[in-house]
Amino acid sequence: MHKIFAIAWKDALIRFSSKAELIFFIILPIVFIFIIAGGVPTGHEDNRIRIVVVDQAGTTLSAEILSALENSPSVRPDLLTLEAAQTEFDARSATALLIIPADLDVASIQNGTAELELRQPPNDVNASVASRAIDAAVRKVSAALSAANLAVNEAKARGAFKSAEEEQAYFNAALETAKRLQAEAPERLTVIEGNTPDDFDYDPHVNVSAGQLITWVFIPLFGISALFAYERTQGTLRRLLTTPTSKATFLLGTISGQVTVALIQMTLLVIFARLAFSLNWGNPLGLYIVLTCGCLAAAAIGTAMGTFIKSEGQANGLSILAGMLMGMLGGCWYPLELFPKFMQTVARLFPTTWAMQGLLDLSLRGANVTQILPEAGALLIFAVIFFGIGALRFRYE
C-alpha cells in the first residue's frame, strides 16, 4: 500500500512540476466551459432567418411592410442604415438585404412603379425562403392597393375616366372598399400543433459542462501513456526491476494516482458549473459512480496506449487526438441526438458516450443510482478490457 501511494505521489509531482500543467488541469477547462456555454444555442433563440432591411421611405406603407415581416414565421427583419446593412450582408451575417426605396408610396403603386430591392446570395436555400416570406408580407400589405388598382383598370375597360380627378376619386373609393373587404376577410388557415414527443433533452449549461468535463479529464488520463513512455525513455522503469516492486503494484500506483487527480479535477469542475450556472448535477452518489467509472475507463485506455507508444511526444499527441475524437464522437461537443442514426449506434463504442449519457441522465432526467448503473457497467467493461490489454502487454523495457 505504501508503495502504491509513493508511486502515485511521485507521478503527481512529475505532472505538476511545471506550473503550465495548471493551465490544462483547471484554467482551460473552465475557459472552455465558460466560452462554449455562452456560445451554443439555448433552443430559446429566435431561429428565424435574419434579413436586414433599409427603410428609405419612412412612410406608413413601409412601416406596414416591416410590421408584416416581424410577424413572419420564417424571417426576422433588422432595420439598419444602408451602409450598416450592406456591411452585415457582405459579412454573411444576414441572409438577404431588403431596401424599401424613398419613392415607395401609394402614388407609386397607383402608377405601377412601386418596387423594392432585394439583394441575396445565389443558390442559397435560406435566401429562397426569405424571398418567399418577403413576397408574402408585401402582398398582404399591398392587397388592398392592388385591389384598388385592379378596380380602376376594370372601370377603364368599360370606358375612360373623364378626368384624372375622377380616376383618383374612383381609386380612393375602391381602396376604402378593398380595405373593408380585407378587414372582413375570413382566416383561411388554422394552425394546429402536433403531439410529437420532444425527447431531445437539452440544456446548454448541462451539456457543455458535462461534455467539457469529460473531454478535459479523459485527455490527461489517456496521457498515462506518456508517463509510461517517459519512465521508459528515462530508464527509471528498468531501475524498478532492481526493487521488490511487482508489475501490478507499479500499474496500480500509476493508475490510482492519475485517477485520484482526475477525480479532484472533476470535483473542481463540478463545483465551478454549480457556482457559475447553478447547475444541478443530480444524485451525488450517482454522479461519483459515473465519474469514477469514467476515470477508470479512460485510465485503462491510457494504460493500453502506453504499451504501444514508444515516445513521450507521440503519446502526448495521440492522447490529445484520441481525447478530441472520442469527445466529439461521444456527444461531448454536440448533442448525440443530432447525429445521423448510424453514428448514434457507432458512438456506443466510445466510453465518452456512456459517461456523457450517465451525466445527462443524472442532471437532465433526474435519474437515481439504479438508473445509471447500465452506463457505469459499460464504463467498467471498457476498464476491464483495456486494463487487461495493458497488463498483458506491459514491459519494463
Helix (H) or strand (E) holding 78: strand 75-79
| 316 near another protein (CB under 8 A) | yes
C-alpha cell at 335: 448533442
| 189 near another protein (CB under 8 A) | yes
* Ranges within 76-115 binding another protein (CB under 8 A): 91-93, 104, 109, 114-115
Distance, in Å, from the CA atom of 168 to the CA atom of 147, rounded to the nearest integer, reads 14
CB nearer to another protein: give 186 or 244.
Answer: 186
Residues 6+ apart with CB under 8 A from 172: 148
* Ranges within 317-346 binding another protein (CB under 8 A): 317-318, 320-321, 324-325, 328-329, 333-334, 338-340, 342-343, 346
Angle at the Cα of 221 from the Cα atoms of 375 and 233, rounded to 5 degrees: 150
Q: How far is the CB of 314 from another protein (least distance, A)?
A: 4
| 349 near another protein (CB under 8 A) | no
* Ranges within 366-385 binding another protein (CB under 8 A): none
* Ranges within 190-219 binding another protein (CB under 8 A): 190-198, 200
Cα dist from 276 to 33, 294, 333, whole Å: 10, 24, 19
Binding mask 42-61 for another protein (x = CB under 8 A): -----xx-------------
Which member of 1, 44, 83, 158 binds another protein (CB under 8 A)?
158
* Ranges within 241-260 binding another protein (CB under 8 A): none
372 within 8 A of 359, measured Cβ to Cβ: no
In a 13 Å sphere around the CA of 295, the CA atoms on its Cβ side amount to 21
Distance, in Å, from the CA atom of 265 to the CA atom of 296, rounded to the nearest integer, reads 14
CB nearer to another protein: give 198 or 397.
Answer: 198
Which member of 147, 373, 389, 391 binds another protein (CB under 8 A)?
147
Compute the Cα dihedral for 234, 238, 239, 245 and give only its sign: positive
CB nearer to another protein: give 2 or 188.
Answer: 188
